[in-house]
């Protein structure tokens, strides 16, 4: 991504964040990010964004850590409780700038947007108490997570506006990262919609005393890279399956690789058959659109580590001959969200020039029930020679993922992470906003920690040995599903994948619920594709890229 940076007369830094169009890279920017050291009255924006917290049943305007030179918010703070605004999380109110009273002449903005940011950590902070370390914090709802969500909510609410100044707490580096990332990720609209959607907020100005610092420049670059990668993932997930087949997904991965200077390797159906990828071939054989396995790699000089990312890329999942019920099918265009996520992650790693090699494997197929479709009781031979009895053709994701995992570990990476919309059992266990993570305990816990730091919700799950018997069959080395029991379905799927990673440190991220939002938007999350897991992967890659090569990897 080409980024332009200018230092204006008001201590402002500007950068452009491109928005992808149906998974390809555009030629012009949509959302502009600016960091400014002061809220100079000459700052020309349409809206000022502030935050309030719901404390003791009253909205309390948050001003600590907010750059507000030349502005007096006393009148606004006094008037806020009379408006009916609660200050609760994701609550918003738009008021005219005249509410500032005599101070209004110092402001060019026509209106103010107040966004609620209540959360237990924020509530305790406002009361002068120490923030706890309970479940909310572990699920990314600490101070930074709530700030990120508030900024994202505000940016989403301001779609169609030209510009807004975010006067949120940002005098601390963690706060600044949260505000910039939340605002840019929230400023999103699916560009493939016809008729065209309301355009995202055009210009995001974040007021911070840190604007001229090296640390702020790094935070800015990270926010832009994350927003670009998230938009790419969301755009791909939102594409209808008649326009996003395994082949067109492959073409778009090539376009991303060419634009970013990434290495790419493409295995078509003939090569997959020749090289023994029975899982991917078996899933794809029922479709007129053949399967592909694509590797997109960021290869820096002298990388500290080599990390493999595996993404499930079922561009549409009918369930195959184990047909899904009609009500479950419309969302199945999102069954390639894992592949979209790892493609976004390797792009972000390249944009930020992280010091770790990243191999993103996209396991692409369409699962259809046509004439040559895979049958229940078929036996396939996987890349590593393992034979698998297919007892349920709707448990296809673990087959394509297992083949990709087996291939990835042949390169001896330091660790491997797979991410997939793998099981409905994940949604039953954890709901539609919390993802599950399983695998080698140290890496599993590292993923959960990185997720909390990135403002995402991942919960560590076990892989109980007694459930391993669910994979046993007298006819092959493994079976892909136990159709006689639904107990621990998410964990059984994880145990299946574990069979294909050898002794390489491994984590399995099941994002079945969080990857696609069918309900109302919230925070920076729109309706449709969400990009869930991408911020977590980027946080982990960034941390690993900073480790010296001599540091233990496991």
CB neighbour burial string for 315-346, b if at least 16 within 10 angstroms, e if fewer: bbbbbbbbebeeeeeebbbbbbbbbbbbbbbb
Question: 19: which residues sit within 8 A by CB, 6+ positions away?
Answer: 26, 29, 30, 31, 188, 189, 191, 200, 228, 231
Rounded to whole angstroms, the Cα distance separating 77 from 286 reads 62
Distance in angstroms (rounded) separating the CA atoms of residues 501 and 416: 8
In Å, how far from its chain's centre is CA 118? 23
Rg (CA), the chain: 24
Task: Identify the active-site residue in 120, 254, 273, 324.
Answer: 324
Pairing of strands 516-517, 528-529: antiparallel
The helix (run of H) or strand (run of E) holding residue 448 is helix 441-454
Residue 324 annotated as catalytic:
yes
Q: What is the DSSP letter of 530?
A: -
> For the chain, what percentages of helix, strand and coil (3-state, to nearest 5) are there?
35, 20, 40
Q: How would you class 134 by CB atoms within 10 Å of its CB: exposed for 0-12, middle for 13-18, buried for 19 or more?
A: exposed
Distance CA(17)–CA(336), nearest Å, equals: 24
Quick check: 65 and 147 in contact, CB under 8 A?
Answer: no
Question: What gap in Å lies between CA 251 and CA 241, rounded to an integer?
Answer: 15
**Active-site entry in 14, 398, 407, 479:** 398
Question: How far, CA to CA in Å, does 105 sit from each of 80, 140, 381, 522?
Answer: 20, 39, 73, 34
Map residue 357 onto helix, strand or coil: strand
The Cα–Cα gap between 429 and 445 comes to: 19
The distance from CA 18 to its chain's CA centroid, rounded to whole angstroms, is 17
Nearest to 413 by CA among 501, 495, 348, 342: 501
Q: 75 phi and psi, to 5 degrees?
A: -65, -40
User: What's the CA dihedral at 408, 412, 417, 418 to 10 degrees?
Assistant: 20
* CB-based contact 155:184 (threshold 8 Å): yes
DSSP 155: H
Q: How far apart are CA 525 and CA 530, in angstroms?
A: 6
- Bridge partner list, 297: 263, 359
Residues 281, 285: Cα–Cα separation, whole Å: 6
Task: Clarify whether 398 is annotated catalytic.
Answer: yes
- How far lies 268's CA from each of 232, 250, 365, in Å? 23, 10, 11
Catalytic annotation, residues? 324, 398
């Amino acid at each position: 991504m080409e980024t332009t940076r200018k230092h204006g007369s008001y201590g402002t830094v500007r950068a452009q964040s491109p928005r992808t169009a149906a998974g390809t890279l555009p030629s012009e920017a949509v959302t502009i990010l600016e960091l400014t050291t002061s809220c100079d009255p000459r700052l020309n924006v349409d809206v000022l964004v502030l935050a309030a917290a719901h404390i003791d049943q009253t909205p309390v305007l948050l001003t600590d850590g907010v750059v507000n030179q030349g502005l007096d918010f006393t009148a606004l703070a006094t008037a806020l409780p009379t408006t009916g605004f609660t200050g609760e999380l994701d609550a918003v109110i738009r008021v005219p700038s005249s509410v500032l009273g005599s101070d209004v002449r110092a402001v060019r903005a026509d209106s103010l947007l107040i966004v609620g940011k209540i959360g237990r950590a924020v509530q305790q902070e406002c009361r002068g108490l120490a923030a706890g370390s309970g479940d909310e914090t572990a699920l990314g709802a600490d101070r930074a997570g709530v700030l990120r969500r508030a900024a994202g909510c505000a940016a989403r609410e301001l779609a169609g506006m030209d510009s807004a100044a975010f006067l949120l707490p940002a005098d601390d580096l963690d706060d600044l990262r949260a505000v910039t990332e939340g605002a840019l990720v929230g400023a999103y609209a699916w560009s493939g919609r016809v008729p065209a959607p309301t355009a995202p907020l055009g210009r995001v100005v974040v007021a911070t005393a840190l604007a001229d610092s090296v640390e702020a420049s790094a935070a800015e670059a990270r926010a832009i890279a994350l927003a670009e990668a998230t938009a790419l993932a969301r755009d791909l997930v939102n594409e209808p399956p008649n326009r996003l087949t395994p082949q067109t997904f492959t073409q778009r991965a090539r376009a991303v690789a060419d634009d970013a200077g990434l290495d790419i390797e493409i295995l078509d159906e003939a090569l997959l058959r020749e090289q023994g990828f029975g899982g991917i071939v078996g899933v794809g054989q029922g479709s007129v659109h053949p399967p592909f396995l694509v590797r997109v790699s960021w290869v820096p000089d002298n990388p500290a580590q080599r990390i493999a990312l595996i993404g499930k890329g079922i561009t549409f999942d009918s369930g195959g001959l184990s047909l899904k019920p009609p009500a479950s099918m419309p969302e199945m265009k999102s069954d390639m969200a894992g592949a979209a996520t790892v493609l976004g992650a390797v792009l972000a790693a390249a944009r930020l020039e992280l010091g770790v090699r990243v191999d993103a494997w996209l396991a692409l197929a369409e699962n259809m029930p046509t004439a040559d479709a895979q049958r229940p009781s078929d036996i396939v031979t996987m890349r590593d020679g393992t034979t698998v009895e297919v007892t349920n053709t709707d448990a296809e994701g673990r087959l394509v993922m297992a083949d990709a995992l087996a291939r990835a570990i042949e390169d001896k990476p330091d660790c491997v992470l797979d991410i997939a919309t793998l099981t409905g059992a994940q949604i039953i266990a954890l709901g539609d906003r919390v993802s599950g993570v399983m695998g080698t305990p140290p890496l599993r816990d590292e993923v959960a920690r990185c997720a909390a730091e990135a403002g995402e919700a991942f919960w560590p799950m076990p892989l109980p040995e007694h459930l391993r018997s669910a994979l046993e069959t007298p006819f092959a080395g493994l079976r892909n599903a136990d159709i006689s029991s639904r107990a621990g379905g998410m964990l059984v799927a994880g145990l299946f994948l574990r069979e294909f990673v050898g002794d390489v440190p491994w984590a399995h991220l099941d994002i079945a619920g969080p990857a696609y939002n069918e309900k109302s938007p919230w925070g920076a999350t729109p309706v449709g594709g969400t990009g869930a897991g991408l911020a977590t992967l980027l946080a982990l890659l960034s941390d690993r890229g900073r480790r010296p090569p001599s540091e233990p990897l496991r």
